[in-house]
Structures are given as structure tokens and as C-alpha cells.
Chain A
Amino acid sequence: MSQTVSSAIAWWARMRGDQPAVVLAGEVLSYRTLQDWSDRVAAMLVGAGVEPGDRVAICSTNSLAYVALIFGTIRAGAIVSPINFRYKPREIAELLETTEPRLVFAGPDQVAALREAGVSPRDMSMVEGLREGRRATAAYDPEPDWPVVIIATSGSTAKPKGVVFTNRTMTAYAANWSIEEPSAPAGSKVITMAPLNTSAGFVQLVHYTIAGCTLYMEPQFDPARALDLIQRERITCFAAVPAFFEFIAARPEFANADLSSLKLVTAGGARVSRQLLETYRAKGIVIRQIYGQTEVGGNATIMPAHLAIDMPEKCGWGGAFIDIRVVRPDGSDCAPGEQGEILMRSPGMMIGYWRNPEETARALRDGWLWSGDIGVLDENGLLTFVDRLKDLIISGGLNISAAEVERVVCEFPGIREALAIAAPDPKFGETPLVVYHGDAEVDVAALIAHCDANLSNYKVPRYVAFSADPLPRLATGKLSKPAVRELYTDAHLRLPKVR
């Protein structure tokens, strides 16, 4: 059992058996318990007929049982298929159609939606019940190249794509960061706020347990709690979107807070401003910009600390095992300063999209991952992220595919064309704003009800604007999103919030 996620857990159970692997709402899961518990889960899964390569779907909010089920599934050689716990039955049904899981597990609040989507899930309490018990384990070992997870990502297409990682890619990802970042050795303490069904939540859990760290799982972001936790537990690693750092800095306790335990502080998803950098530098902390995406394994590059001080908005130059290029549409390298598509290559990147050879062939060409993001390298090879080619709205750290929102909105009777764009939102960073055109205004409450029925809550538009004129087009015949964005820059200030 070499170079697998399970072999790393077994190692830490031996080396640091009493050290907490995960702390959730004050409840502690040690590496020894994690090892025993996930072994029992693996044996249970095998007993229930799960074979290597089968999918085990999980739809639940974060819990220690969820963690045990993830590592148990991987130990059994099966593939974890997390389902967003906010998903509506239609979204669940679409996902299950392509993943075809052998077993589905659901938290108490998710059971009804799964039933409506046409499956009969098992209860998470079944996993909970295996926390204690006799030693048991699967009779065989997983192989390094067996897939371990399918993570649903929102791309530019209306339907989500499933990113597949194997034992080998995930251990390689962790190895890269262990080599590059001596600031986060075994025993480090990491805060994670993302649900386990997201790429950030899943990858952080697996990465930092492979590395023998302790994860403090927070159910949601609360600046006061985060500040308290950092000081009380002497947290070493903290990653968040820049807005979160701003909220923390805005707390009155911030001025006297002792943040000296923090060794690795990173921000992604938006630019780190000079002002934000300075605010934290005054406390001896350098916030380092990261760039990455699910497909590359998570982070692809972190700005070196000594350079971040002068160029806070740049993201570094790749990594020990991670190469970065910026290219023109024909694949030739851009000159320094010239914008192009960001390409990456690393042993930690996905092996492809689940059952989607076309999208896989598009994303992985000649060993390089085509990110669909626009970036620029300076004369020293430092990357600056410019824009997403993929049309996403990032709300509270969750990616929303604009195309998916548009698809559902356009189904509503009387809507001829519609675009979803990001409106700024003080709480979520961005929130969906829909602009539509039709012969007459539609009943907005009914439209929102239609969206509510077909989309997860966070994807439902918060603003709706009617355009009596057809929406602006590009000369290619497509609707022009930039033109609509410009026309509606301040629309959120004028429009009522519809939910």
C-alpha cells in the first residue's frame, strides 16, 4: 500500500496517533481513531458489495462521520462522489446520472431531496455507529493509480464537470507543498471553512491529513470566531478570500490580537490589495496571493513571501513540481507582459473529467492543463491572474456557473434571452444578477420560485432586471456579456433585492 492516501493515514496513526487529525465544533478526531474508524467503514462498504472503482456518493454537511466515510471509501478502493448538500433534486439527479454510485449516504436534512431525485440513501448514522468497535479492515490494499474522488466543478458549460483525482495525484500534490512550504510541517494547525463537497474543502482535508496536520473545521466563516480560534489554538495556516481578511481586520479585537502563530497565510479568488497587505504586515504577517483551480489539484502557485511584500497582487512562478506557462490561442508562448491563457503541468493535477473524454481532451493537451483563465507573466516569470475565461460568479467562496443560471431562467415562459452577471455583495463578495429581455415584464416572484425549485439556494438570482430592448450582441451573433456588465454596473444599487 505505497503512495496512497490510506498509507499516509496509517503512517500518521503510528507516528502521531494521539494528535488530532480533525477538530470540528470542539469534537476531536485523532489520527488513531480516524485510522480505525475508516478501516471499519471500508470493511462495511466491501461487505455491502462495494468494489474498487465503484462510486460512493455522500450528501451531507461537514461532520466527523463524513471525514471517516471519505477515508473509508478511499481505503476500500472506491471513489468518493460528494454531492453539494445544498443541491435541489434536479441537480442531484443530473449528477447521479453520470456518477452512477453503488451506494449513497445522506445527512438527515438531505434525505428528502435524494429521495425526490430517485434514490434511497443510507443514513450517515450508519457511519457514525462504526466510530467504536472491533478492528476490521478491507482484505486488499488500494493501488496508487486508483481514482479517489470525483469533484463537481462549475465550468463555462451549463452542466457541472467531474474532476477525477487518484491516490497518486493527491499524494503528489501534498508532497509538492511539503517540499516547497517548510512553514507547514506535520503538526501544523490549519483552519478550513469550506464544505467537504467543494474542491477546497475536500482537497484541504486530504492534503493536510496526508501531511500529518490538524484541521480545524469551521461550519462557516465568522470573523470573531476565526480571530479567537487563531489565538487560542495557535493556528499556523490560514487560507481565505481577501474579503475574509478584511472582515477580520475590521473587528475591534484585531488591534490587540496576537497572530504570531500564523506561518502560512494565503489569499485567492480576488486580488490582495496593497492596503490589505500593509494592514497585516503591521502584525508581522505577509498575505501571499495564490492561484489555482480544482483541475490542477488546488493551488498551483503561491507568491514567495519576500516578493509578496513588493508585489502583493502577483501569484508566484509555479512550484517545485508545478510548471506554468501563458500562451496564445495557437499554443505559442506569450511575450512577458502579454495576456494569454494560463497553462499548468504537475503530477498533482486531475487525470481527467469523469466520463467526459471530449472535455478532458480539451483541458489536457500534450500533458498541459489548459486552465481557461487569462493571465500574464512578467519578465521574471511571475504570474498575475487577469480574468476567468470561464464564466463564473463566486458567491461566498462557491462557484456558480452563469450558464447554468441562464439555462434555468430562459426556461421561464416569456423570457426570450437572459444573462447572469455578478453583482457586488458585501456579505458574499458576488451574487447573481439576471438581466432578461422578453415581450413584456414577467412575474419576478414566480421566476424566483422557478429558480428556487431548480437551483441550489446560493445560485438563485438576488437581482432581476428587465430590458425592453434586446440585449446587446457581439458581431459574432452572441450576447455580449461585457456590454451587459457595463450597462448594469450599478444596477444592484437601484434594483430591489428579490430574495
Chain B
Amino acid sequence: MTKAPSQLRVIPPHVPAHLVFDFDIYADARVGSDVHQTYSAAIADAPDVFWAPQNGGHWMVQRMDAISAIATDPEHFSVREMQIPRVPNPPFFIPLSLDPPENLPYRRAMAPMFGPVAVKAMEPRLRAWAGEIIDAALQKGTFDFMADVAKVFPVSVFMELMGMDLSRLHEFRDLAERFFENQNDAAQIEALSGQILGVMKALIDEKRSTPDDKLMSHFIQADMGGGRTMSEDEILAMSFVLFLGGMDTVTNVTGFAYQQLAQMPDLQARLMADAEGLSGAFADEAVRMFGVVNTPRLVVKDIDLMGVPFREGDMVLNLLPIGSRDDRKFDQPHVLDIDRKKVAHVTFSTGPHLCIGHVLGRAEIKVLTEEWFKRVQSFSLAADKPRPFRTGTVMALEALPVSVNAAS
């Protein structure tokens, strides 16, 4: 659903006129289906850090160095509020809304299950799911890559990760899909969240009686310090954040990257020829170019930084996907180049809230690409079909109709 453009402009007295630049993060007319390119172009002439008067008024940060400075300074820039415009009683997520040091025990509890070794061990399962899902989609010839591939794959991975009963795959997939499709409908979200938590609660009960080596059992046993284990509410809250953070993100990075790849026959041919060798590099470049999370922060203590007067109560939006295309850091930042030398980007943020799932997220895209090119000779955008998208704190591609030539 498209949002009506925000018309009210808010410019508090401490914001100097030369830092004001109009931009509506939810409905800017300059942004199109090629979200990243058009978004970058729209704000190319804006200062490194600027004040967008729409949506209650907030700062926007588009350069990588400035983003890093803010993301690593929780003393001034808190995660306590992440809503733009600000709302009364903002939601609170564990560990996302906790500033250090409170978030540390929770991150420690998650970390072992998300390291390179643990993710490597999951790879065969990822591969099996990717293959199965792509095969099912290919039956159709022309299909919506988002609905048939990018949205379903991370749900299966999530279920694997948590140790859920995979016979309930369709039910849970359906739940997840409806959840992410109904983001604008508070009543629906409330009902669906309740159902999701119900499933998680049942899973906790199940794993208490029959533990395994998956994430939920690990949450139940994890030592939070001094022998304390997590309460059921804490476990549910963490599971919910994983649900929120682990699916929509992978879905949309993959979607945007495949929208681009669909238009690059030469790169497709290279990947087809050596999927195993090149998929890792493709995944890295996909993640750099197609970040989807813009992270908000609340200024909790006045600070002047980079010539910008941040004042208590200001909201700040770090444009991670734009920062990962900073032309001061990358040559030809808008070109998808899998031979690019690996350089740090900010798609997964940095500092105390660096994405827990970054190894897993990358692995999902790599494995999916390998399996894709085992089965697909080439593919392109289905002609004249619209590709609706969403912007805001998470950027999403809602449909990606593709035509596919299967490999013989």
C-alpha cells in the first residue's frame, strides 16, 4: 500500500538552513523500482548529513564514515527509539533496543550459533532447501521471484535454525508471509504476532522436554551470567527479533540483487560457468550494493559532530545501503563488480549492534546462487510487469516477475 506523501515540514530552530534537504523516506517521488540507484541520485546533492523536514523531521546520514561514527557512539546516539516519526510508547526489542552493556549477555547467548563454524554446518540443509524451492518455482516458467523464491527460502532457514518441525512448513510460511505483507495494518500484525509467538511458545515447551542442538534449545540453556538462564519472555522476545531480522532482510537483499542480475547476461554466463567458484564473491557484492536496512537512532545527549548540531530528542537515520555505495570508499560504487577487492561496507551496520546474522545471511545468498545456476541457464525481467517496492527503515521489493531459461 502506498503511503500518502508527508506534507508537514518540521524544522526546529537548531537546524541550520544549509543542512535542510527535502526527502520523504516513505514515499519520495524520485525513488523508483531500482530503489538504490534512484535513492542515491535523489540525495546526491544533499550534504553528508542533512535534515529531512518530512515525517516529523529527522537527520539523514549518507556517508560511510559519518554512519560509523554514529553507530559506534551509543552514549549520544541511542537505540532506545527507532520510529520515524517518533511515536508514543515505541516498541522495545531484545537486544536491538538495548544500549551496551545491557545488550551484551543477549548477544553472547546468540553468538555461538551464528559463527562461521555453525553456519558452515548448516550449509547442506540450506542447499537442500534452496534446491527444492527453486525446482518448484521453475515448474512455472514465468514466476514472481519474490513470492516463489526470495520470500520462502529464509523462512525455511529460520525453521531449520530454530529446530522447528518442518512438517509445519506451509503453515509457518503462510504466517510469515502474511506478517511481512501486512506491515501497515496494526490489527492484523497484532493478531499475527500473537500466532507467531504461540508457535514459538510451543517450540520452547517441546525443546524443554526433548532438547536438540538447535537455537531454541540453546536459548533455553544459555548461561546469562552467574548461572541465570533466560525467562520465557526473554526467549520469546529474542526469537521474535530473529524472526523480524532474519527474513525480510535476506529476502530483499536477494530480491534487489537478482533484479540487477536479471539485467546482466554476461555476469549470468560467468556464474553459470563457475557457480561454485564465484557465488561467494557475488554474495559479497550483492550485500554491499543492496543493503535494505536503514537504522534509526535517538539523540540522547547533545553533540556537535561533523559540523552538525545533534540535539537531544532528534531522530537520526543511518542510510546503511547508501553508505555502502559511498564514492569516497568505492570506485564506481553503483556497478555490480564481483571482482572488486573486498572492502568493509556498512550494510550490516557496525559497532555494538552489528548484525548477528551476517555470516548466515551471506551464506544464504551464496548457496541460493549456486543452486540457482545449477538449474538456470539465463533469466531476465518479465517484460512490462510492474515491480512495486517499499522504502522506509526497511526497503523492500514486493514483486520481481522473471522469465527463465532452464539449464538443459
- Taking the closest CB of chain B, its distance from the CB of A469, in whole angstroms, is 13
B180 at the interface (CB under 8 A from A): no
A406 within 8 A of B: yes
Q: Are B192 and A329 in contact (CB under 8 A)?
A: yes
CB pair B237–A419 under 8 Å, yes or no, is no
Does B192 contact A407, Cβ atoms closer than 8 Å?
no
Q: List 26 A-B contacts (CB under 8 A).
A: A156-B187, A157-B186, A158-B88, A329-B178, A329-B191, A329-B192, A329-B195, A330-B178, A358-B4, A406-B88, A417-B88, A417-B89, A418-B88, A418-B89, A474-B197, A475-B236, A475-B237, A475-B239, A476-B91, A476-B193, A476-B237, A476-B240, A477-B91, A477-B97, A477-B240, A478-B91
Tell me if A25 is interfacial: C-beta within 8 Å of chain B.
no
Residues of A in contact, count (CB < 8 Å) = 27
- Collect the chain B residues with CB atoms within 8 Å of residue A407's CB: 88
Assuming the A-B contacts A406-B89, A475-B236, A477-B237, are A372 and B187 also in contact, with contact meaning beta carbons closer than 8 angstroms in the complex?
A: yes
How big is chain B's contact interface, by range?
Answer: 20 to 34
Grouping DSSP codes into helix (H, G, I), strand (E, B) and loop, the A interface class, with mixed when no group exceeds half, is mixed
Give the residues in chain A near B190, CB-CB below 8 Å. Answer: 389
Known pairs A409-B88, A475-B239, A475-B240; list 16 more (Cβ under 8 Å). Answer: A329-B188, A329-B192, A329-B195, A358-B1, A358-B3, A361-B1, A362-B187, A372-B187, A389-B187, A407-B88, A410-B89, A418-B89, A473-B237, A474-B197, A475-B236, A477-B97
Considering the complex of A and B, which 4 residue pairs feature the smallest CB-CB distances, nearest first? A475-B236, A410-B88, A477-B91, A329-B191
User: Which A residues, 462 to 495, have Cβ-Cβ distances below 8 Å to chain B?
Assistant: 473-479
B240 touches A479 (CB 8 A): no
Contact B197 A479 (CB under 8 A): no
Docked Cα-Cα span, A424 to B237, in Å, equals 32
- The chain B residue sitting closest to A370, CB to CB, is B187
CB pair B89 A476 closer than 8 Å: no
Which B185-233 residues have C-beta < 8 A from chain A?
A: 185-188, 190-193, 195, 197, 200, 233
Contacts of B197 in A (CB 8 A): 474-476
A476 to chain B, nearest CB (A): 4
Question: Complex: how many Å from CA A474 to CA B233?
Answer: 8
Q: Which of A358, A361, A411 has the most CB of B within 10 A?
A: A358
Contact with A along B62-95 (1 / 0, CB 8 A): 0000000000000000000000000011011100
Nearest CB in chain B to that of A480: its residue: B233
The distance in angstroms between the C-alpha atoms of A156 and B188, with both chains bound, is: 13
Evaluate contact between A473 and B92: CB separation under 8 angstroms: yes
The smallest C-beta distance from B136 to any residue of chain A, in angstroms, reads: 22
With CB as the reference atom, state the residue of chain A lying closest to B2. Answer: A358
What's the nearest-Cβ distance from chain A to residue B59, in Å?
21
B184 CB–A CB distance under 8 Å: yes
Find residues 95-146 in chain B having any chain A CB closer than 8 Å to their own CB.
97
Binary CB contact string for chain A from 388 to 424 against chain B (1 if under 8 A, 0 otherwise)? 0100000000000001001101110000011100000
Closest-by-CB residue of B relative to A404 is B88
A225 to chain B, nearest CB (A): 40
Which residues of chain A are within 8 angstroms of B4 by Cβ–Cβ distance? 358
Closest partner residue, chain B, to A406 (CB atom): B88
| Set of chain B residues within 8 Å of A410, measured between Cβ atoms | 88-89
User: A372–B185 Cα gap in the complex (Å)?
Assistant: 11
Task: Count chain A CB atoms within 10 A of each CB in B89, B174, B192, B241 and give the residue with the most.
Answer: B89
Which chain A residues lie closer than 8 Å to B239 at the CB level? Answer: 475
Interface of B is mostly: helix
Which chain B residues border A478 with CB–CB below 8 Å? 89, 91
Chain A hits for B1, CB < 8 A? 358, 361
Rounded to whole angstroms, the CA-CA distance of A475 and B174 in the bound complex is: 21
In the bound complex, residues from chain B placing their C-beta under 8 Å from that of A411 are 88
What mask results when residues 365 to 378 of chain A are scored 1 for a CB within 8 Å of chain B, else 0? 00000001000000
- Name the interface residues of A405-456: CB closer than 8 Å to any CB of B: 406-407, 409-411, 417-419
Cα of A116 to Cα of B185 in the assembled complex, Å: 35
Residues of B within 8 A of A358 (CB): 1, 3-4, 184
Interfacial residues of chain B within 275-331, with CB under 8 A of chain A in the complex: none
Docked CA distance A195–B3 (Å): 35
Q: Smallest Cβ distance from B7 to chain A, in angstroms?
A: 10
Within 8 A of A (CB), among B224-263: 233, 236-237, 239-241
- Smallest CB gap from B92: residue in A: A477
State A280–B236 Cα separation when bound (angstroms): 50
| B89/A419 in contact, CB under 8 A | yes
Q: How far apart are the CA atoms of A78 and B240 in the complex, in Å?
A: 50
A156 / chain B contacts, CB cutoff of 8 Å: 186-187
- Docked pose: A377 CA to B2 CA in angstroms: 36
Separation of A70 and B89 alpha carbons in the complex (Å):
40
Kindly supply a per-residue 1/0 record for chain A positions 58-84, scoring 1 wherever the CB is within 8 Å of any chain B CB and 0 otherwise. 000000000000000000000000000
A129–B187 Cα distance when bound, in Å, is 48
Which residues in A have their C-beta under 8 angstroms from that of B241?
A: 477
Task: Decide if B187 touches A475 in the complex (CB within 8 Å).
Answer: no
- Rounded to whole angstroms, the CA-CA distance of A162 and B240 in the bound complex is 35
- For B236, the chain A residues whose CB sits under 8 A away are 475
The residue of chain A having its C-beta at the shortest distance from the C-beta of B86 within the complex is: A410
Which residue of B3, B89, B97, B195 contacts A479 across the interface (Cβ within 8 Å)?
B89
> What chain A residues lie within 8 Å of B174 (beta carbons)?
330
The answer for the CA separation of A417 and B174 in the assembled complex, in Å, is 34
Within 8 A of A (CB), among B147-197: 174, 178, 184-188, 190-193, 195, 197
Question: How long is the Cα–Cα vector from A358 to B200 in the complex, in angstroms?
Answer: 31
Residue from B88, B191, B193 with most neighbouring chain A CB atoms (10 Å): B88
Return chain B residues, CB-CB under 8 Å to A406: 88-89
B278 to chain A, nearest CB (A): 40
User: With the chains together, A417 CA to B86 CA distance in Å?
Assistant: 12
Residues of chain A within 8 A of B3, CB atoms compared: 358
Closest to B201 in A: A475
**CA–CA, A403 and B186, complex, Å:** 13
The interface residues of chain A lying within 8 Å CB-to-CB of B200 are 475
**Chain B: minimal CB distance from A386 (Å):** 14
Nearest chain A CB to B99's CB is how many angstroms away? 14
Bound Cα distance A479, B190 (Å): 12
Task: Please provide the chain A residues from 334 to 370 with a CB less than 8 Å away from any CB of chain B in the complex.
Answer: 341, 358, 361-362
Residue with the highest number of chain B CB atoms closer than 10 Å, among A330, A341, A411, A477: A477
Closest residue of B by beta carbon distance from A340: B191
* B237 closest partner in A (C-beta): A475
Complex Cα spacing A330 to B175, Å: 9
Identify the interface centre among A361, A410, A478: most chain B CB within 10 Å of its CB. Answer: A478
Separation of A362 and B174 alpha carbons in the complex (Å): 20
The answer to whether residues A475 and B233 also contact, given A329-B188, A329-B192, A329-B195 and a CB cut-off of 8 A, is yes
Q: In angstroms, how far is the closest chain B Cβ from the Cβ of A25? A: 42
Cα(A476)–Cα(B188), bound, Å: 14
A407 to B: closest C-beta gap in Å: 5
